[in-house]
Structure 1
Amino acid sequence: MNILLFLASSFAISCSGAMSPGPVTAAAISHGMKSRHSGLMIALGHAVVEFPLILLLTAGLDTLVKTDIARTVTGLLGGAILLYMAWGLLSDIRKGVHAEKAENPGRSPFITGIFLSISNPYFLLWWATIGLGLTTRAIGFGYWLLPVFALVHWLADLIWLELVTFTTNKGAAIAGRKGMTAALAVCAVMLAGFGLYFVIDTVSFLIYGQ
């Protein structure tokens, strides 16, 4: 496999991960109602966690990420953060705060990107498995390709998140306040659903070991 083909395949794999329904996409929809380019800030917050993680994985951190302790901590912490964000968003709706003034989730898209990356156990697991495989291949071409690979992967996240927030912002202008409030409620339910899933999945793992 040549370098260009590797980078193209890495971008495609990264896109499939970025476009999967999840808490980051739900948060992007919420932030998109306030700012059409908030996807950029979410992606930058995501990069603050992701780029150092790539370096740490090349140094052998993958063995730590795969441990039961890491899965338990990230699962419970991630679930708690998502439930808190959902509660905050629902509180804003109940108080009658309009979409463009709602503070949650995460208060700022940049902070949201950081928190949702740190607290997502599946994000860490993806990098400890699929991501590590891609990283290893990148290093096989030479260490100089590692930052290029990281940038290509991040561009997939950036493009998707910007597309989500831009589209949401344009749609919000058409839907009006009632439509935006309904969309915020859906986002809150989605965040709560993912939060409950993280917690239940982690508790099930602790009890049944799977």
Structure 2
Amino acid sequence: MHPCPLLQSLPAPALLTTMLGGVVFGLALAAPPGPMNAIIAEESAVRGWRAGFTAGLGAMVADLSFFLLALAGVVTVVQDAPTVRRAMVAGGGLLMLYFAYGAVQDATALSSVDATAADESRGFRKAFVLALSNPYQVLFWLTVGVGLLDPGQVDVLAPLPAVGPALTGLFVVRTGHPGLLAGLFGGVLIWITGFPATIVAARSRVERLAPVVAWLSGALLAGFGVVFLWQAV
């Protein structure tokens, strides 16, 4: 059985560096606080690791869908149609407010993790639908995402002040290579595995953490929802 010829197009050290760069980029994409991580945190705290991981998969599948649409050039309609973009912003804002209401319900009604663990797949639906209605996620794949598809290379350490010249050529990432994209989604997978585990571990040490996380998630989602609706009008 022969390895994929695309992966053979780079020497092993260059391929490893490119995949590592993709992992770092995927972690940087997934880790910042935002609506997706609010949903993952709430699901993890209230329903356990598997529910949080499933919610992360929903956001990841949405990213994969946007990547494929960007590859096909389909999502450019969002960039070229301001009305469509505003409608998506407004829809996303309303969804965030709706999910914020659900988080508040979880926080007030929560008596135990088992009492709310019946539907672990709902986090997937929430994160997936919310991601699909997020025009900023679409625009990311239209800009940065498309740049990742163009063949080329990025010397990651060269622009660093003072030490950049000494580090030139040490960490070169090849764009337009499947190894970079595999690393990127691998980095996202690492985050959606580790972040829920961290929340669950903290919950096991702090008895009342679950409702606190639910309240904080609701507040974060409500804040983003108001911002989105403000931007839409």
Q: Tell me, yes or no, whether TM beats 0.5.
A: yes
Whether 2:187 is the aligned partner of 1:175: answer no
Partner of 1:133: 147
CA apart distance, 1:3: 4.2
Letter in 1 for 2:110: V
CA apart distance, 1:126: 0.9
Preserved CA contact (<8 Å) 2:57 2:192: no
Partner of 2:197: 166
Query: What pairs with 1:89-128 in structure 2 (closer than 5 Å)?
Result: 89-94=103-108, 96-98=109-111, 100=113, 101-102=115-116, 108-128=122-142
CA apart distance, 1:70: 3.3
Partner of 1:207: none
Partner of 1:65: 78
Q: Which string of whole-angstrom CA distances, capped at 9 and with x for unpartnered residues, describes residues 140-169 of structure 1?
A: x898x44x5443222222211222211111
Preserved CA contact (<8 Å) 2:203 2:209: yes
Q: Which runs of 5+ in 2 are unaligned?
A: 1-9, 153-173
Partner of 2:227: 197
Letter in 2 for 1:193: G
- SS of equivalent to 1:61: coil
More helix by share: 1
Partner of 1:22: 34
Preserved CA contact (<8 Å) 2:54 2:120: no
Count of paired positions: 196
Preserved CA contact (<8 Å) 2:38 2:221: yes
Partner of 1:46: 59
Q: What is the root-mean-square deviation of aligned Cα atoms in Å?
A: 2.7
- SS of equivalent to 2:49: coil
Distance 2:148 2:39 in 1: 27
Report the identity percentage: 24
Residues 1:142 and 1:87: Cα distance change in structure 2 (over 3 Å): closer
Decide which structure has the larger Cα Rg and report it. Answer: 2
CA apart distance, 1:13: 2.2
CA apart distance, 1:16: 1.3
Distance 1:137 1:28 in 2: 34
Q: Which runs of 5+ in 1 are unaligned?
A: 204-210
